[in-house]
Amino acid sequence: MSEFYKEKKIEQDDEIKELKDLISKKEEYINSLLQKIEILNSELNNRDNQLRIISNSLSWKLTKPLRSISSLIRKVVIKFKKLKKYINYCKKTDKPTAKYWIKFEKQILTLNENVHKRIGDNYQKWICNNELTNEDLKKQQNQNFNATPKISIVVPLYNTSIDFFRELLYSVEFQTYNNWELCLADGSEEKINEIEKMCRKDLRIKYKYIGENKGISGNTNEAIKLATGDFIAFMDHDDLLPLNSLYEIVKCINENSDVDFIYTDEDKITSNIDLRFEPHFKPDYAPDTLRANNYICHFSVFRNDLVKSIGLFNSKYDGSQDYDFVLRASEKAKKIIHISKVLYHWRVHKQSTSMKFDVKPYVINAGKLAIEDHLKRIGLEGKVFLGINSGTYGIDYKVKGNPKVSILIPNKDGVSILKNCVDSICNKTTYDNYEIVIIENNSEEERTFEYYKELEKNPKIKIIYYKEKGFNYSKIINFGVRNTNSDFVVQLNNDTEILTPNWLERMIGFCQRDDVGAVGVKMYYPDFTIQHAGLIIGCHQVASHVFKGLPKDKSGYFGTENLIQNLNAVTAACIMTKRSIYEEVGFMNEKFAVSFNDIDFCLKIREKNKLIVYNPYVELIHYESKTRGNDLVPDKIERFKKEIDLFLETWKDKLDKGDEYYNKNFSLNSDQYAIKTEK
């Protein structure tokens, strides 16, 4: 027996030796791969240093390294993919060594995630398509504007990184428009001689050492006091401007002599200024969107007279002092223009608010206070609450009086569906002064009318009978509106289910405002993926619901689906308007029998300079037209085509101009806020 165990022991020793040899070989292999990645990263750093070298040709300095770096980055990504694939293979086929590879896997996957986050494949394509050429830059430098306003760039400094400041300085000094001044107020604990020395090289740079830290608002105000320009632009001490930023601002001023507030799109950078990511392509000015979050942010430029009229920054809002300032400016600005170009690079590092709002919770609280004070100044009563996403906000406006609401529900048979809808209203609605008006449309089943008799026992429910044959949604709604006398009207599909108890209060609060024409809601499919979060005009030729199919617990582009915002249209599956709006716009267009009637209705409201509000804090389930029947039969296809043609003809000018709330840098072939990669 002892000999047997000896033999087994020898066999085990041999197996252990083989495993050790295998681990050793694989360790050598993975170390070799990691060394190659390190070499590539080292080469990236060398390219990064190239960007810091000032040459006679600035366009070459900023564009050629970027092109070569894009190729280099792709090599890194490919190497990461190969390494990840190899690790997965080892884990499946060689269990004794799996633990060894797992400890490498976490490190590699983290690196891989960071690289992909910084690269952003679609955005890199966009950059390539929109990158300025040498000829573009020279043309801008030689441009003769009729108006050449001085732009004062205001920057508060505090313990500023010398490297970051040097890059900021370069990005301003080499602008293609040169009538600017850089106003710097330094609240650092000690004066940084190297920074002061760099400032002496250009007479357009004004540097003041404050001698104390007055906080972000106080330091900014000291910088504003140095400004003598016609317009004042605000910039953080660790950020950068693309070479054409001031040129585009001045071009806008020349084209709009009455503009006094301009903002632009932006993206993010890290210490490697050549790696741009997370572009923020913004909507045009939208007051309700602004009250939901400071989407305007960078790059913001204000006429000096406007700044004088609204006052300086207020330390009461430190952390969100720029949000307060933008809100105050929006209250008095005669004209606000958005330039849909990336004209600002926001630096991401551990201490910056660009990293994530959770780093500085006081920023969020200061923002809430800024909105509350803004509402008081403009005479609106509302309760501000923290939004779904960090750094965003919601508002419940106070309902004035006790206005009556008529909830119009067109219906043909489908008792079980209608019952689910009506029960959800009756069981969940917290607002009392409403009526349910079911518009009966040629039902055929006896049990439908039996259910109506049961419903009419409820004093809040009445049935009215639309007797024309065929289905024409617009005619049915117009009939319903003419048979009501309520202050507000809700169009509601019979295949919906209310989820939010105070849904009517939240809709009335917005709808009663003089500047609002209609309010829409967030709707889910039964599996709680998004069915409706607003509409994009021009998407997929006519219009499309945004973020359709996005799971409730996932976030779309900048969390837009969770923001109260102004849009051009919302679905009439659940929409509230003042009753007077129908008469003002000529009711629903009855030529749109089935499709696009709600979009047409919303666009007619927009023509009256009324806002459309999407409120994601009102949630419903939409079972998606279960009672409507098959739309793929020939006569319905023909009808659908005619309605498309009618819409394209009716709203040609609007479609040509584009949806002002959907940035032109997004593709109209996607409803997911996809970046446009084609030229």
Type of residue at 197: K
State the pairing for strand pair 300-303/336-347.
unpaired
Q: Regarding predicted confidence, which is higher, 364 or 15? A: 364
State the pairing for strand pair 461-466/565-567.
unpaired
pLDDT of 351 reads: 54
Indicate the class that CATH gives domain 405-657. Answer: alpha beta
Confidence of residue 274 (pLDDT cuts 50, 70, 90): confident
Residues 515, 581: Cα–Cα separation, whole Å? 12
Residues 561, 390: Cα–Cα separation, whole Å? 14
Two structure tokens written together for 240: 């950068």
* Contact yes or no for 44/74 (Cβ under 8 A): no
Residues 110, 121: Cα–Cα separation, whole Å? 18
CA distances from 466 to 421, 438, 439, 590 (A): 20, 10, 6, 14
Reply yes or no on whether the pLDDT at 22 is more than 60. yes
Give the residue-averaged pLDDT of 448-466. Answer: 97
Residues 122, 304: Cα–Cα separation, whole Å? 38
pLDDT of 9 reads: 55
* Contact yes or no for 396/383 (Cβ under 8 A): yes
Residues 21, 26: Cα–Cα separation, whole Å? 9
What are 35-81's pLDDT values in tens digits?
Answer: 666 655 555 555 554 444 434 444 434 444 444 444 444 445 555 55
**Residue range 134-378 in CATH 3.90.550.10:** yes
Reply yes or no on whether the pLDDT at 639 is more than 90. no
What are 482-502's pLDDT values in tens digits?
Answer: 999 999 999 999 999 999 999
pLDDT of 376 reads: 98
Residue 624, classified by CB atoms within 10 Å of its CB into exposed (0-12), middle (13-18) or buried (19+), is: middle
Share of the chain above pLDDT 90, in %: 73
* Angular region, 539: left φ>0, alpha ψ -120 to 50, beta rest: beta
Confidence of residue 624 (pLDDT cuts 50, 70, 90): confident
Query: What dihedral do alpha carbons 628, 659, 329, 289 form, nearest 10°?
Result: 30
Residues 47, 272: Cα–Cα separation, whole Å? 10
Q: Which residues are bridge partners to 168 per DSSP?
A: none
Domain spans of the chain, in order of start: 14-119, 134-378, 405-657
Rounded to two decimals, the pTM is 0.82
Element (H, E) at 180: strand 180-186
State the pairing for strand pair 461-466/434-441.
parallel
Q: Which of 351, 172, 346, 175 is nearest to 276 (CA)?
A: 346
Residues 133, 140: Cα–Cα separation, whole Å? 11
Confidence of residue 169 (pLDDT cuts 50, 70, 90): very high
Give the residue-averaged pLDDT of 334-345. Answer: 97
pLDDT of 8 reads: 52
Give the residue-averaged pLDDT of 424-446. Answer: 97
Token look-up 């313990």 returns: 159
Reply yes or no on whether the pLDDT at 252 is more than 60. yes
| 3-state SS assignment for residue 36 | helix
Reply yes or no on whether the pLDDT at 191 is more than 80. yes
Does residue 510 have a cis bond before it (omega within 30 degrees)? Answer: no
Residues 448, 451: Cα–Cα separation, whole Å? 5
Q: Which of 415, 581, 410, 434 is nearest to 503 (CA)?
A: 434
